Amino acid sequence: MFNIAVLISGSGTNLESILNAVEKDEIKSKVVLVIADRECYGIERAKKRGIETYILDRKAYRDELSDSIYELVKDKADFIVLAGFLSILKGDILKGYKDRIINLHPSLLPKFGGVGMYGDNVHRAVLENREKITGCTVHFVDEGVDTGRIILQRTVSVDYEDKIEDIKRKVQREEHIAIVEAIKKLEVAYEGINQCI
């Protein structure tokens, strides 16, 4: 079994999906820590399940954010899952957790990734580009922004009458599946390898 730290910034529906999968034994890992970079509803979801939570306000921590997160997770978590986490991780945490941090992104990377591409901005760009297919990606986190090796993607079709909200709803449905599937893949990849904790 692996220990996971989940990093969030928002409503935490993907966190909820992970927690449901843990509860149903669909994944072998358990969530030991939830960290947010701002006040958000996802923290309430974690608290309701009795999980240790931290809010490290990104505006207060600024350049110290990544190192402070690293301090919190390094003796506790085997994997870090970014489930709607909107700050960019830098520095030692990327080395310490190489190939053990995954991020969920609401587009089919490499399309519509990079700085400023998050949440509705992504879906707006998809509409403006008249894409007929979009989706979500789970990828390893490296030094770039949304550039790490892709683990899996799930697609949805974009209908001509779709608005941002429609695309968001369709993509989120797939995200809730994708994030759990990606964790399962990590578990398989690391099975037999000594856990770091």
**Does the annotation flag 121 for ligand binding?**
no
**Does the annotation flag 13 for ligand binding?**
yes
Structure tokens at 134: 């979009």
Per CB under 6 A, does 135 bind ligand GAR? no
- Sequence-distant (≥ 6) Cβ neighbours of residue 138 within 8 angstroms: 102, 103, 104, 105, 150, 151, 152, 153, 178, 179, 181, 182
- Smallest distance, Å, CB 9 to ligand GAR? 7
**Does the annotation flag 103 for ligand binding?**
yes
Given 93, 175, 180, 182, the residue binding ligand GAR (CB under 6 A)? 175
Structure tokens at 20: 């449901």
**What is the SS3 assignment for 111?**
coil
CA distance 112 to 135: 11
Q: What one-letter code names the amino acid at 103?
A: N
Torsion of CA 69, 99, 76, 87, to 10 degrees: 20
Per CB under 6 A, does 83 bind ligand GAR? yes
Q: What share of the chain is helix, strand, coil (3-state, %, to 5)?
A: 40, 20, 40
Stretch that binds ligand GAR, among 5-13, 27-35, 92-100, 188-196 (CB under 6 A): 5-13
Residues 43-82 that bind ligand GAR (CB under 6 A): none
Site size for ligand GAR (CB under 6 A)? 17
Stretch that binds ligand GAR, among 9-17, 45-53, 93-101, 181-189 (CB under 6 A): 9-17
* Residue 123 falls in the annotated catalytic set: no
Stretch that binds ligand GAR, among 12-20, 53-61, 94-102, 180-188 (CB under 6 A): 12-20
By the criterion CB under 6 A, which residues form the site for ligand GAR?
Answer: 8, 10-14, 42, 83-84, 86, 104-106, 118-119, 172, 175
Which residues have a catalytic role annotated? 105
